[in-house]
Amino acid sequence: MDKIVVITGASGGIGAALGETLAARGARLVLVARREPELRAVAARCGANAHVVAADMTVRDEVQRVIAEAQRRFGRIDVWVNNAGRGISRMPSELTDADIDAMMTVNVKSAMYGMQEVLPHFKERGAGQVINISSMLGRIPYALPRAAYSAAKHYLNALTANFRMEVQPKFPGILFTTVSPGVVYTDFGNHALHGGLDSRSIPGGQEVGIVANAIANAIESGAEEVYTLPGARERVADYYAKMGVPS
């Protein structure tokens, strides 16, 4: 895979596994997260073609710095993966302004900054791919304590679709991909705002390598919508059909 790929939230979980998967396929990587020691450990597993940039993707200036550093190191960016995110454990009736602000900042604004700031580079080249890591909770809001997270991922899905509608008529070579995993066996639950269940204790989840492979395949295929769980697409269609929403 002759691609330069920027992965945010790459210090653990899906981002780290994706880095290792893409490195094995020949990609050159820019690994981004706030935790530099953890990033460097991931980079060591990815090999010589992995470059580390410690940065906070909720700060637009930091996103701009990542883009400049990626271009300086590799000359271009082919794929931008918005993977930085965080969950929450609080019932919808108990949510505070601060809870909503936190969920929107890390799960939506970070991705919006990435899309907006990398877009001029993609337009100049006439090609590029944005991959936004969403969630099945962005399709079906079935986990009550994750209500604010679900709302943020619904917002991200709509934003991704609208970027596609705006950009592709003039720049068909610029792709926007939404990836919707279910429960993934990582530290995600442990790091949720207000605490939470360890994701690895929830039945029916997936190993992180399966999700990483699905994302890597989306880079190679250019798919617009990716579900990593078997039967997930049909589950979503059935959910909306029962609500009387045509598929």
Lowest-pLDDT choice from 4-13, 173-182, 199-208: 199-208
Grade residue 125 by pLDDT with cuts at 50, 70 and 90. very high
**Residues designated catalytic:** 149
| DSSP one-letter string for 62-121 | HHHHHHHHHHHHHS--SEEEE-----B---GGG--HHHHHHHHIIIIIHHHHHHHHHHHH
In this prediction, residue 246 carries a pLDDT of 64
Beta bridge partners of 193: 88
Neighbours of 150 (CB within 10 A): 24
Grade residue 203 by pLDDT with cuts at 50, 70 and 90. confident
- What are phi and psi for residue 130, nearest 5 degrees? -105, 130
Grade residue 247 by pLDDT with cuts at 50, 70 and 90. low
> Is the predicted pLDDT of residue 164 greater than 70, yes or no?
yes
Give the residue-averaged pLDDT of 168-188: 95
| Domains of the chain, earliest start first | 4-242 (3.40.50.720)
In this prediction, residue 205 carries a pLDDT of 82
- Of 126, 128, 121, 15, the C-alpha closest to 68 is 121
The mean predicted confidence, pLDDT, of the chain is: 95
Q: What is the reported pTM? A: 0.95
